[in-house]
C-alpha cells in the first residue's frame, strides 16, 4: 500500500481486502477440501507448474497449493480472476471445479509477465511451451539481479541493466526493449537518447516502434539503449524510492522487509 501511495494511487478509490477477514475461518478450509475432492492428483500436479518451478513436487504440502488457490476464488466470490499468466492453470482448474460443484464460474483474464533481466533466448513452437518459457524467465524476487526494485538506487538500476540480456538487433526475449515498450513509452511521450556525434548523435523517439526499427537496423547500440532505459526507469522509480527513504512509516516497513531471508 505504501508503494501504491508513493506511485500516486488514490487509496480512497479502492477497497483493500484483508486476508484475515476472508480466510481465517472454517468455510475457507471446507472449500479447499471440496475442491480437492473434485479433481485428481495428476490434475493438481499440472496446475502446480504455474508457479514457474520445473522440479518435481518434493513435499505433500505442495499438492494442496492448487486447491487453496482455487478455494481463494470462491471464498472471495469474484466474477473475474484478473491475474498474471502464471496463474492461468489454477484459474482453469477453478472453472472446471465450478461446473462440478455448481458454483459461480469465474471469468479468467490474464496479463503477461515482464521478462527478467536474464531475458529469454528461445521458446518452443508450441503456444503452451512458449508461455511456460516466458513465465520461467519473468522477474523473480528470489533472483535479485533479474529484477528492478522500486527501492533500487540510480546506480543499482544502471548496473543491473548494464549486465542484462540485450543482443544487438534482436527483439525476441529482449527485456530492455520490453521495458521500453511496456513501461517507458507508456509513461513518456518521447524518449531522448544522448550519445556522441561519432556514434550518431542525440536522437529523440516519439514512439516505441521507431526505437525498435532503429535497434533492429543496428542504428542503436545495445549499451546506448541500456543507459537510456536506466535513466527513464529511474525517473519513474525515484519518487517511490524517496518516499521509502523519508517517510517514517514506509521506511520502517522497508527495513523489516529487507530483513527477510530470500529462499528459492
**With respect to CATH, is domain 18-111 assigned 3.40.50.620?**
yes
Q: Does the 127-258 domain belong in CATH 3.40.50.620?
A: no
Across residues 253-262, what is the average pLDDT? 82
Least confident stretch, 25-39, 115-129, 176-190: 115-129
Given a cut of 80, whether residue 123 has pLDDT beyond it is no
Share of the chain above pLDDT 90, in %: 62
Nearest to 189 by CA among 247, 222, 232, 226: 232
Q: Which residue has the cell 530483513?
A: 259
Q: Are 85 and 111 in contact (CB under 8 A)?
A: yes
Confidence bin at 129 (pLDDT 50/70/90): low
Q: Which residues lie below 8 Å from residue 146, measured CB to CB, with a gap of 6+?
A: 116, 117, 118, 139, 140
pLDDT confidence tier of residue 22, bands split at 50, 70 and 90 = confident
52 falls in which pLDDT band (50, 70, 90)? Answer: very low
Given this model, what pLDDT does residue 99 score? 96
**Structure confidence at residue 113 (pLDDT):** 84
pLDDT in tens, 211-241: 999 999 999 999 999 999 999 999 999 999 9
Cβ 104 vs Cβ 77: under 8 Å: yes
pLDDT of 50 over the 90 cut:
no
Position 157 scores a pLDDT of 96
Which DSSP state fits 85? G
**Residues 144, 116: Cα–Cα separation, whole Å:** 10
Q: Residue 239 and residue 50: Cα distance in Å, rounded?
A: 33
Q: State the average pLDDT for the chain.
A: 87
Question: Please, are residues 121 and 173 in contact by the beta-carbon 8 Å criterion?
Answer: yes
* Domain residue extents for the chain: 18-111, 127-258
Long-range pairs of 241-249 with CB within 8 A, sequence gap ≥ 24? 241/150, 241/151, 241/152, 241/153, 242/6, 243/2, 243/5, 243/6, 244/2, 244/6, 244/150, 244/151, 247/2, 247/6, 249/2
**pLDDT (0 to 100) of residue 126:** 45
Amino acid at each position: 500500500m505504501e508503494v501504491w501511495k508513493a506511485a500516486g494511487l488514490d487509496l480512497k478509490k479502492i477497497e483493500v481486502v484483508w486476508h484475515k477477514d476472508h480466510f481465517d475461518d472454517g468455510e475457507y478450509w471446507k472449500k479447499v477440501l471440496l475442491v480437492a475432492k473434485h479433481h485428481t492428483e495428476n490434475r493438481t500436479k499440472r496446475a502446480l507448474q504455474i508457479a514457474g518451478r520445473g522440479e518435481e513436487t518434493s513435499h505433500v504440502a505442495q499438492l494442496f497449493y492448487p486447491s487453496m488457490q482455487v478455494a481463494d476464488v470462491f471464498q472471495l466470490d469474484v466474477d473475474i480472476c484478473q491475474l498474471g499468466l502464471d496463474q492461468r492453470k489454477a484459474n482453469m482448474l477453478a472453472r472446471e471445479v465450478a461446473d462440478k460443484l455448481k458454483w459461480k464460474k469465474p471469468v479468467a483474464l490474464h496479463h503477461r509477465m515482464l521478462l527478467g533481466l536474464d531475458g529469454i533466448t528461445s521458446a518452443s513452437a508450441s503456444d503452451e511451451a512458449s508461455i511456460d518459457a516466458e513465465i520461467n524467465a519473468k522477474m523473480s524476487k528470489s533472483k535479485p539481479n533479474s529484477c528492478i526494485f522500486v527501492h533500487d538506487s540510480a546506480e543499482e538500476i544502471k548496473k543491473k541493466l548494464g549486465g542484462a540480456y540485450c543482443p544487438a538487433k534482436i527483439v525476441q526475449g529482449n527485456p530492455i526493449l520490453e521495458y521500453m515498450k511496456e513501461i517507458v513509452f507508456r509513461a513518456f511521450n518521447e524518449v531522448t537518447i544522448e550519445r556522441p556525434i561519432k556514434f550518431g548523435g542525440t536522437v529523440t523517439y516519439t514512439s516505441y516502434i521507431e526505437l525498435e526499427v532503429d535497434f533492429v537496423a543496428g542504428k542503436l547500440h545495445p549499451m546506448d539503449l541500456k543507459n537510456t532505459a536506466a535513466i527513464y526507469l529511474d525517473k519513474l522509480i525515484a519518487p517511490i524510492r524517496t518516499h521509502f527513504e523519508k517517510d517514517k512509516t514506509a521506511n520502517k516497513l522497508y527495513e523489516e522487509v529487507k530483513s527477510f531471508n530470500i529462499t528459492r
